[in-house]
Structure formats: C-alpha cells, structure tokens
C-alpha cells in the first residue's frame, strides 16, 4: 500500500511539474500582417512561484539583440501566461539599432504533449498603437536540456530592468493657450508665423474636447514635430514614432474655427515631414495625413457642431 501511495504521489508530482512554466523556452515570433515576412527569434527563461512568474525575455531582430526582465502571472486552471508591456522592436524600423519599441502584452497557453511542451500565443499591441504595431504570433518550445533557470536569471545582468510607456496624457485648454500667448515668442514660434498654412482638411466634431494622436506616417526616419493649437506651440521637440504622441485638447468656445497645425522642425532622412494624425471626439474618428515642410504648416480646421 505504501509503495502504491508513493508511486501515485510521484506521478502526481510529475504531472504538476509538467504543468509548471518554469524553465527555458525558445521559438519564433511572426508578424501578423499580410505580405510581411519579418520575424523575431525569441528566447524566454521563466521561474514560477504560485501564480507569479518572472524571468528574462530576449529576441534577435535583424542584426540586434534585446533582453528584458519580465514579470507576470500564470493561471494553472486555464494554463495561460500573461506578461504586460513587453517592448518589441518596431518591425519596419529602418535601422538595426534598437531605437523604437512597440509595447505589447504577451499571452500564451501551455500545451503539453508526449513529444514536447509549448507556449503558444501572441504578442498583442496596445489599442492606441493599432495603426502601426501589428500583433505577433509566437510558439515557444521548452528546452528540456536546460534544467537550471536560476543560473540564467542570475547571469542576466545585461538585461534592461525598467521600461516605461510614453506619457499618456498631455492636456491643452483654451486658458493654457492664452497663457502661452503672453510669453515672449521663441525661435520656433517666429518661424511658424513666417510659414504659410497648408489646409489639410476641415472637420466637424461632436464634442468640445478631443483626443489627438500623432504617428510617423511610414518609415521611422527621425521626423520631429512641434504641434501648434490656435497658432500657439503646445508641443515641442517631439520625435514621431510608432508609439504615438497623445494630446488632449479643449476647443475654444470664443472662436468659430479652431486650428491644429503641424510644424516641420526637421524633415528626417526622408523629406517631407509626414505624420498620421488621429482625432477622436468620443463619437467620430478622423484619420488625416499631415504633410509639412520648411515653407508650409499642415493645418486642420476644426468646427464644433451646433
């Protein structure tokens, strides 16, 4: 009887160990975008303690390698692993240097067979980056030869420990614009006033407050944009990227038409300066392509529905 109990206990312990995600994993992540053949060779070392998992994730892309300390959760009932805000290099980045990241959530399910153990899932983009960062599918296979992840975690001193998303909210009110007007104009303000407006579009909005997000339209080539609202600079020295620059704007009720202008501070490596501007009023979403150069300011004219 004691022997039978021991065998059952060992079998049960082995089954629990098999369902544990502790260990080293390797695989490939593929971009889920038609016509794209970009992929990332990835590796993951995890240590599980209860529901909490932590470890190091690394990947090769083009000629670069990045690694990060990660932390998340594992649900033993659903066999799902979740890791939040993993910075994944932008798949269309023109340089092999790790300069632009898409913050993505890693979600995968543990799949066990007689031959191998896998983590199958996705890197899922933040909804606010949906225009530029496609999802990735990933299939990790457990490395059964590596049975000591603690040593790998201890040696992971080169991994980045901290990463932060870009600031989510920059709020611009009509009162703030008036205050900025009182400040002595700087070089950017004077240069803006010398250039002619280039009308991009006139839009009719439902709300008196808007969310605006600015993206680089195409290759990330170093474009920077100051943003002007009603002819006053409200954002300066902002590099365009795939992550987007978020701006919350209150319409000025004292003017019939509010103006949003993009000023080209630099043209990047591929002129002219181009940006994708998404404007949302809580009901409608407007997608606008802004073009500006050293002679013209791309301008959107905004009217409130009466």
- Domain spans in the chain, listed from the N-terminal domain onward: 2-154, 171-304
DSSP state of 159: S
Cβ neighbours for 104, distance < 8 A, ≥ 6 positions apart: 85, 86, 87, 88, 123, 124, 125, 126, 133, 135, 136
C-beta of residue 53 within 8 angstroms of C-beta of residue 26: no
Q: Using a cut of 0.85, tell me whether the model's pTM lies above it.
A: no
User: Does residue 19 have a pLDDT over 50?
Assistant: yes
CB atoms within 10 A of CB 79: 15
C-beta of residue 98 within 8 angstroms of C-beta of residue 59: no
pLDDT tens per residue, range 55-107: 888 888 877 777 888 889 999 899 999 998 888 877 766 555 545 567 789 99
DSSP 3-state of 76: coil
Q: Residue 89: is it exposed, middle or buried by C-beta count within 10 angstroms (0-12/13-18/19+)?
A: buried
User: Does residue 166 have a pLDDT over 50?
Assistant: no
Average pLDDT over residues 157-178: 58
pLDDT score at 8 = 40
Between 120-124, 129-133, 264-268, the lowest mean confidence (pLDDT) is in: 264-268
DSSP H helical ranges for the chain: 2-18, 149-154, 174-181, 187-194
User: Does residue 4 have a pLDDT over 60?
Assistant: no
- CATH T-level assignment (fold) for domain 2-154: Lipocalin (2.40.128)
Mind spelling out the 3-state secondary structure of 267-298?
A: CCCCCCEEEEEEEECCCCEEEEEEEECCCEEE
Cβ neighbours for 203, distance < 8 A, ≥ 6 positions apart: 279, 286, 300, 301, 302, 303
Residues counted in the chain = 306
Q: Which residue has the higher pLDDT, 205 or 147?
A: 205
What percentage of the chain's residues is helix, strand, coil (to nearest 5)? 15, 50, 35
| C-alpha 44: how far from chain center | 20
pLDDT score at 106 = 92
pLDDT score at 172 = 82
């Amino acid at each position: 009887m004691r022997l039978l109990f021991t065998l059952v206990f060992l079998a049960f312990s082995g089954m629990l160990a098999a369902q544990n995600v502790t260990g080293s994993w390797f695989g490939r992540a593929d971009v889920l975008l038609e016509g794209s053949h970009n992929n990332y060779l990835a590796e993951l070392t995890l240590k599980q303690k209860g529901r909490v998992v932590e470890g190091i994730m690394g990947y090769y892309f083009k000629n670069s390698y990045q690694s990060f300390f990660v932390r998340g959760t594992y649900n033993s009932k659903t066999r799902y692993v979740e890791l939040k805000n993993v910075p994944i290099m932008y798949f269309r980045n023109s340089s092999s240097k790790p300069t632009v990241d898409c913050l993505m959530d890693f979600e995968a399910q543990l799949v066990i067979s007689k031959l191998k153990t896998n983590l199958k899932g996705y890197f899922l983009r933040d909804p606010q980056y949906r225009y530029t960062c496609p999802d990735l599918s990933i299939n990790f296979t457990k490395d059964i030869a590596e049975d000591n992840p603690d040593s790998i975690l201890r040696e992971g001193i080169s991994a980045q420990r901290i990463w932060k998303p870009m600031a989510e909210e920059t709020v611009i009110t009509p009162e703030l614009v008036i205050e900025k007007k009182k400040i002595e104009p700087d070089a950017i303000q004077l240069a803006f006033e010398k250039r002619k407006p280039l009308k991009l579009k006139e839009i009719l909005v439902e709300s008196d407050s808007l969310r605006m997000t600015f993206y680089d339209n195409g290759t990330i080539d170093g474009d920077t944009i100051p943003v002007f609202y009603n002819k006053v600079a409200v954002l300066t020295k902002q590099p365009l990227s795939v992550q987007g620059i978020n701006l919350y704007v209150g319409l000025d009720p004292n003017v019939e038409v509010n103006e949003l202008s993009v000023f080209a501070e630099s043209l990047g490596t591929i002129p002219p300066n181009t940006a994708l501007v998404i404007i949302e009023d809580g009901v409608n979403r407007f997608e606008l392509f802004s073009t500006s150069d050293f002679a013209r300011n791309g301008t959107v004219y905004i009217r409130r529905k009466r």
